[in-house]
C-alpha cells in the first residue's frame, strides 16, 4: 500500500559504490550519518569532501512527509509550480487539527466538521498531484511514517520538526520549512549545511523501570536544548542494539529538543523485526543484503573520538527513570526524593492533575503495553487513580491492535480518556479549560517531547513534566510528582500498603499488528482531472496568486515600515497560537505580520508610524495603507533576524503586503533564503552602525538596483525628513539563480516558467 520497494532498492543499488567513493575521498572510515549523506548527493557520486558545519550541500531526499498545519501553505505553493505530480514520493497526514476533549469518537467527528474544508482541500490536492493522504484519525505523522515509510539508510524531509523520529529505523530524516519541501516536490535539490557529528555510545542494558525515553531525557540533560545544534547524533554500542525500534524512534524524536539536525541508529535486528512486523519483509531482505552500508564502519564505533566531533557515553545499567521539566525538556530530575526537594524549593505543585500518554514520541504498541501493565496493577491491587489519564494512540494500526489485545480496555477500566490517534494535547489541541489564561497553577506529567509554557493546555501556570509512558502511568495513579514506584508504596482502597512491580510489555504485538481501515487514501494514477475547490469566501484557505516581480521603479521612494529592536524571530514576524487557524490563508494570516516585533523608536510592539498620515497604528494596517497607495516598504532589523522556525509564512506575509526589502545586521540563514525564494531583497548592512542612522520617517532609494549582480553590494540612499540624506551600502548573498528569482517575482515563478 504505502511504501515503494523499487525506490528503496534503487537507493540500495547505488549506496555501496557511493560509500566506497566517499570513504576514499574522506580518507578514513565513515560514520552511518556520513554514509547516508554522501549517498544522497544531488549530483550523484561524491566528488569532493565536505567540511562539517561549514559547506552547504545539495541533497536528493527519498521522501517527503507533511502534516496538516504546514501542508496547507506547502501545497498551495506547490500548486503554483505548474507540475502535474510531485517529483518525490510524498504523504500528507491529518493529525494537528483534532482537538482532544471528550474522547476519540466525538472529537474526531467534531474536527471533521470544523476543519472539513481544510481536510477536503488537502485530500483533493493530494489526489491531484500523486500524494498519499492519511485522513484525520489515521494517526500521528511520525508514527505512521515509522510504520509505513521509514527505511534504513534512507533520507527524508518533513514539514515538522519531529520528522527526526524516523531515525529510529536508521534514516537521516530532517524537519524543514514548507518552502524547502515544495522545492523537492517540484524536482529541485534540497540544501543543507553539512552537519557536525555527535556520537552517543550506549553501554550496559536497559531494564526494569528505565525506558528509552530516559536515554533521551539524560542526553537532553547533558547537551541542553542547544547542544545538538547543527549536528547529527548517531547512537551506537551494545545498549543501542538492545533497544526496540520504536524505542530508538523515541530517542531520535526528542533529538529535536536538543536542537539536533537529526539523530539516527545503525541498522540492526530490532529494525529487522519491526520491518517484518509491519509487513515490510521485502525491505528487511533488501536491507540485509547491504547491511554493511547501513551502519558505521567498525573502526568508527571502536574509536569514536577519532571520527565524531563530540562523543558521549551513557551506561544504561546505571540509568534510572527521569522527569524533565517544567517548562524546558532539558531540566532533569531523578524520580523520587530529588523531586521532593526540587519541587519544594521551586514551588512546583507536587500534586499531579493529569497524566498524558501519547504524542509522536511515545505512542507505539510497546509504549502502550508497558504503561498498561502499570494500569493493570492498579486494578489488581485495588488502587484508584489520583490524577486523570489521557491516551493518544500513535496510529489506527496501533490503536486497533491495542484494543484487540485488551490494552485500551485496561486504561478504560481506570476511567482514562482514549483520545483520537492524533497530536491532541501535544500541540495545544486540548479543551482542558474554558479560560486557560486564568487557569490555576498545577502540574501534569506526559510522555510527549515539548513542555514549554502553555504548550499542552494554553495555561501559563501548568507545570508540565516529561517522562516515559510507564512512569507517567505510575505518577498519574499516585497523583504525586515525587512518587518513586521503585521504592514507594501506595495505600489502596482497602487501606493496605501496595507496591508496583516492574512494568512489562511487548516490543511488538505477539499476535501481530492488525487494522481494519488504516486511514490511507492512495492518489489516482492520473489526477489531472481532479478539481481542487477553494471557496472564495473561505477564511481558512486562499489560492495563491503568483507574486508580481518588484521593479526598479518600485524601489524608489520606499518607506520604512518598522525598525525592529533586538530579537525578531519568525514568531515575532508571524505568530503561532490562534493564528494557526489561518496557515492556509495568506491574506488573513498576514494580519499578524510583525505584530510581535519591537519598534526601535518607542519600544512598543505593533505600534508604528504611518508616514502618510503621521499617525501610529498596527504594523499590518500601516503596511496595508502603503500598499493601497502602491508604495513599497522596507523592514530594518538587528542581528539574527528571522531565527526560530523555518516557516515560510514569515517571508510570504511581508511579501504579500508589499514589503520589498529587509535590511538587517545579520540573518538567520533559513529566513534569508525564504525571503529570496519569495522574490524579495534580503540585505545586510555593510557597516552595522548604519542601523543607527535609520530614522522613523525615512524614505529609501535603491540607486543601483538595476545592476543587481552576485557579489556586488547595493547602494541605498536614505532620505530623512529634514531633507538630509545618508548613503549606506548593503551586502547580499544572491547568486545568479537567486537574482532570477527576484527578477521573476519568486522561485516558484521561475519553476513555472521552466515548465511552461
Ligand atoms: Fe504532533 Fe506533538 Fe509530534 S504536535 S507531530 S505529536 S510533537
Reported ipTM: 0.99
pLDDT at 3: 57
Beta bridge partners of 323: 333
Q: What is the mean pLDDT of residues 599-628?
A: 98
Secondary structure string (H, E, C) spanning 195-224: CEEEEEEEECCCCCCCCHHHHHHHHHHHHC
Q: What is the mean pLDDT of residues 183-201?
A: 96
C-alpha cell of residue 101: 476533549
From 185, 459, 475, select the one nearest 323 (Cα to Cα): 475
Task: Give CA separation, 187 vs 87, 184, 193, 523, 743, in Å.
Answer: 5, 5, 20, 19, 21
Q: What is the mean pLDDT of residues 200-226?
A: 97
Is 574 found in the same domain as 465?
Answer: no
The answer to the question of residue 605 being in a domain is: yes
Is 241 found in the same domain as 142?
Answer: yes
Centroid of ligand 1 to alpha carbon of 624 (angstroms): 35
Centroid of ligand 1 to alpha carbon of 428 (angstroms): 10
Catalytic residue among 463, 585, 647, 732: 647
Q: What is the mean pLDDT of residues 401-408?
A: 98
Statement: residue 112 has pLDDT above 60: yes
Is 716 found in the same domain as 649?
Answer: yes
Cα within 13 Å of Cα(420), Cβ side: 31
Give the integer Cα–Cα distance in Å for 421 and 363: 9
DSSP state of 441: P
C-beta of residue 66 within 8 angstroms of C-beta of residue 92 = yes
Cβ neighbours of residue 633 under 8 Å, at least 6 residues apart? Answer: 558, 559, 560, 561, 623, 626, 658, 659, 660
pLDDT at 571: 87
Give the integer Cα–Cα distance in Å for 527 and 124: 9
**740 assigned to active site:** no
Is 160 found in the same domain as 251?
Answer: yes
**450 assigned to active site:** yes
Question: Is residue 396 within a helix (H) or strand (E), and if so which, with residue range?
Answer: helix 396-404
Centroid of ligand 1 to alpha carbon of 423 (angstroms): 5
The answer to the question of residue 276 being in a domain is: yes
C-beta of residue 453 within 8 angstroms of C-beta of residue 333 = no
**649 assigned to active site:** no
Is 65 found in the same domain as 211?
Answer: yes
Q: Which domain holds residue 728?
A: 553-755
Centroid of ligand 1 to alpha carbon of 253 (angstroms): 10
The answer to the question of residue 498 being in a domain is: no
359 lines ligand 1 (CB under 6 A): yes
**732 assigned to active site:** no
Is 161 found in the same domain as 81?
Answer: yes
426 lines ligand 1 (CB under 6 A): yes
Task: Give CA separation, 599 vs 55, 616, 687, 693, 699, in Å.
Answer: 35, 11, 21, 15, 17
From 677, 700, 682, select the one nearest 183 (Cα to Cα): 677
Give the integer Cα–Cα distance in Å for 266 and 290: 12
**In ligand 1, which atom is closest to the CA atom of 426?**
2
pLDDT at 647: 85
pLDDT at 416: 98
C-beta of residue 74 within 8 angstroms of C-beta of residue 159 = yes
The answer to the question of residue 512 being in a domain is: no
Entry pTM: 0.94
Cβ neighbours of residue 682 under 8 Å, at least 6 residues apart? Answer: 661, 662, 667, 671, 672, 675, 676, 732
Give the integer Cα–Cα distance in Å for 574 and 592: 6
User: Which residue carries 534503487 as its cell?
Assistant: 10
CATH number at residue 700: 3.20.19.10
Domain boundary among 463, 481, 499: 481
Is 327 found in the same domain as 272?
Answer: no
Is 225 found in the same domain as 121?
Answer: yes
Give the integer Cα–Cα distance in Å for 555 and 742: 13
**645 assigned to active site:** yes
Cα within 13 Å of Cα(481), Cβ side: 27
How much of the chain, in percent, has pLDDT values that exceed 90? 95
Split at pLDDT 50, 70, 90, the class of 1 is very low
Q: What is the mean pLDDT of residues 184-195?
A: 95
Please write the tens of the pLDDT for every residue from 629-682: 999 999 999 999 998 877 899 999 999 999 999 999 999 888 999 999 999 999
Q: What is the mean pLDDT of residues 384-406?
A: 98
Please write the tens of the pLDDT for every residue from 278-290: 999 999 999 999 9
Centroid of ligand 1 to alpha carbon of 8 (angstroms): 27
The answer to the question of residue 537 being in a domain is: no
Q: Going along 115-248, which residue ranges are E strands? A: 132-134, 155-158, 172-175, 190-193, 196-203, 231-236
Give the integer Cα–Cα distance in Å for 653 and 646: 14
Split at pLDDT 50, 70, 90, the class of 214 is very high
Is 358 found in the same domain as 251?
Answer: no
pLDDT at 475: 98
The answer to the question of residue 503 being in a domain is: no
Cβ neighbours of residue 436 under 8 Å, at least 6 residues apart? Answer: 454, 457, 458, 459
C-alpha cell of residue 341: 526537594
Domain boundary among 481, 511, 541: 481
Domains held by the chain: number: 3
Q: What is the mean pLDDT of residues 219-246?
A: 96
Q: What is the mean pLDDT of residues 612-621?
A: 98
Is 369 found in the same domain as 302?
Answer: no
Please write the tens of the pLDDT for every residue from 27-46: 999 999 999 999 999 999 99
What's the mean per-residue pLDDT of the chain? 96
C-alpha cell of residue 553: 521603479
Question: Is residue 248 within a helix (H) or strand (E), and if so which, with residue range?
Answer: helix 245-253
Please write the tens of the pLDDT for every residue from 714-724: 999 999 999 99
Is 329 found in the same domain as 314?
Answer: no
The answer to the question of residue 539 being in a domain is: no
Mutate to test the pocket of ligand 1, among 140, 254, 450 (most ligand atoms within 8 A of CB): 140
Quick count: other Cβ atoms within 10 Å of Cβ 554? 17
Domain boundary among 447, 481, 515: 481
User: Which residue carries 520504536 as its cell?
Assistant: 246
Q: What is the mean pLDDT of residues 289-311?
A: 98
Is 376 found in the same domain as 268?
Answer: no
**647 assigned to active site:** yes
Q: What is the mean pLDDT of residues 459-475?
A: 97
CATH number at residue 63: 3.30.499.10
Amino acid at each position: 500500500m504505502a511504501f515503494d520497494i523499487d525506490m528503496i532498492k534503487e537507493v540500495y543499488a547505488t549506496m555501496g559504490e557511493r560509500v566506497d567513493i566517499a570513504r576514499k575521498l574522506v580518507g578514513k572510515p565513515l560514520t552511518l550519518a556520513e554514509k547516508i549523506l554522501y549517498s544522497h548527493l544531488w549530483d550523484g557520486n561524491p566528488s569532493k569532501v565536505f567540511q562539517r558545519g561549514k559547506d552547504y550541500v545539495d541533497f536528493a531526499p527519498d521522501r517527503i512527509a507533511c502534516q496538516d498545519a504546514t501542508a496547507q501553505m506547502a501545497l498551495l505553493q506547490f500548486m503554483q509550480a505548474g507540475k502535474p505530480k510531485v517529483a518525490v514520493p510524498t504523504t500528507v497526514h491529518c493529525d494537528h487539527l483534532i482537538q482532544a476533549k471528550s474522547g476519540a469518537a466525538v472529537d474526531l467527528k467534531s474536527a471533521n466538521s470544523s476543519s472539513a474544508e481544510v481536510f477536503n482541500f488537502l485530500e483533493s490536492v493530494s489526489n491531484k498531484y500523486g500524494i498519499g493522504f492519511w485522513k484525520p484519525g489515521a494517526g500521528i505523522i511520525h508514527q505512521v511514517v515509522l510504520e509505513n515509510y521509514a527505511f534504513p539508510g534512507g533520507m527524508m524531509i518533513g514539514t515538522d520538526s519531529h520528522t527526526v523520529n524516523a531515525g529510529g529505523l536508521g534514516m537521516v530524516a530532517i524537519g524543514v520549512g514548507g518552502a524547502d519541501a515544495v522545492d523537492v516536490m517540484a524536482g529541485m535539490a534540497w540544501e543543507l549545511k553539512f552537519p557536525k557529528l555527535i556520537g552517543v555510545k550506549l553501554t550496559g542494558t536497559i531494564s526494569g523501570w528505565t525506558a528509552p525515553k530516559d536515554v533521551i531525557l539524560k542526553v537532553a540533560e547533558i547537551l541542553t536544548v542547544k547542544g545538538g545544534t547543527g549536528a547529527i547524533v548517531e547512537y551506537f554500542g551494545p545498549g543501542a542494539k538492545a533497544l526496540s525500534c520504536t524505542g530508538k524512534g523515541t530517542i531520535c524524536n526528542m533529538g529535536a529538543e536538543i536542537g539536533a539536525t537529526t539523530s539516527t541508529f545503525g541498522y540492526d535486528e530490532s529494525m529487522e523485526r519491526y520491518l517484518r512486523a509491519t509487513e515490510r519483509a521485502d525491505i528487511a531482505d533488501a536491507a540485509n543484503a547491504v547491511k554493511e552500508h547501513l551502519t558505521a564502519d567498525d573502526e568508527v564505533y571502536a574509536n569514536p573520538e577519532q571520527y565524531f566531533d563530540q562523543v558521549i557515553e551513557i551506561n544504561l545499567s546505571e540509568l534510572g527513570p527521569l522527569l524533565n521539566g517544567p517548562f524546558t525538556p532539558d531540566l532533569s530530575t531523578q524520580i523520587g526524593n530529588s523531586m521532593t526537594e526540587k519541587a519544594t524549593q521551586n514551588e512546583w505543585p507536587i500534586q499531579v492533575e493529569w497524566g498524558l500518554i501519547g504524542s509522536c514520541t511515545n505512542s507505539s504498541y510497546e509504549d502502550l503495553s508497558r504503561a498498561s501493565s502499570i494500569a493493570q496493577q492498579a486494578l489488581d491491587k485495588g488502587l484508584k487513580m489520583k490524577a486523570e489519564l489521557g491516551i493518544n494512540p500513535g496510529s489506527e494500526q496501533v490503536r486497533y491492535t491495542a484494543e484487540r489485545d485488551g490494552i485500551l480496555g485496561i486504561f478504560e477500566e481506570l476511567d482514562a480518556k482514549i483520545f483520537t490517534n492524533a497530536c491532541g494535547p501535544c500541540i495545544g489541541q486540548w479543551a482542558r479549560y474554558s479560560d486557560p489564561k486564568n487557569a490555576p497553577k498545577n502540574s501534569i506529567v506526559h510522555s510527549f517531547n515539548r513542555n514549554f509554557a502553555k504548550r499542552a493546555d494554553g495555561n501559563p501556570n501548568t507545570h508540565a513534566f516529561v517522562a516515559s509512558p510507564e512512569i507517567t502511568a505510575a505518577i498519574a495513579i499516585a497523583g504525586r510528582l515525587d512518587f518513586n514506584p521503585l521504592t514507594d508504596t501506595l495505600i489502596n482502597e482497602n487501606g493496605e500498603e501496595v507496591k508496583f512491580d516492574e512494568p512489562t510489555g511487548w516490543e511488538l504485538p505477539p499476535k501481530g499488528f492488525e487494522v481494519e481501515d488504516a486511514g490511507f487514501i492512495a492518489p489516482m494514477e492520473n489526477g489531472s482531472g481532479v478539481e481542487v475547490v477553494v471557496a472564495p469566501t473561505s477564511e481558512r484557505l486562499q489560492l495563491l496568486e503568483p507574486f508580481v516581480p518588484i521593479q526598479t521603479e518600485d524601489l524608489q521612494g520606499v518607506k520604512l515600515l518598522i525598525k525592529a529592536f533586538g530579537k525578531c524571530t519568525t514568531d515575532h514576524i508571524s505568530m503561532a497560537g490562534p493564528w494557526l487557524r489561518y496557515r492556509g490563508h495568506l491574506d488573513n494570516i498576514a494580519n499578524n505580520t510583525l505584530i510581535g516585533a519591537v519598534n526601535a523608536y518607542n519600544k512598543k510592539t505593533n505600534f508604528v508610524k504611518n508616514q502618510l498620515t503621521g499617525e501610529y497604528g498596527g504594523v499590518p494596517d500601516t503596511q496595508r495603507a502603503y500598499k493601497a497607495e502602491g508604495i513599497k516598504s522596507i523592514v530594518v532589523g538587528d542581528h539574527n533576524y528571522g531565527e526560530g522556525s523555518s516557516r515560510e509564512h514569515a517571508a510570504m506575509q511581508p511579501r504579500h503586503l508589499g514589503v520589498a526589502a529587509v535590511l538587517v545586521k545579520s540573518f538567520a540563514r533559513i529566513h534569508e533564503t525564504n525571503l529570496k525564494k519569495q522574490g524579495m531583497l534580503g540585505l545586510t548592512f555593510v557597516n552595522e552602525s548604519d542601523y543607527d542612522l535609520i530614522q522613523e520617517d525615512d524614505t529609501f532609494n535603491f540607486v543601483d538596483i538595476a545592476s543587481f549582480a552576485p557579489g556586488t553590494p547595493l547602494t541605498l540612499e536614505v532620505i530623512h525628513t529634514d531633507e538630509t540624506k545618508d548613503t549606506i551600502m548593503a551586502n547580499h548573498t544572491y547568486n545568479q539563480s537567486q537574482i532570477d528569482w527576484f527578477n521573476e517575482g519568486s522561485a516558484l515563478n521561475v519553476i513555472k516558467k521552466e515548465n511552461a
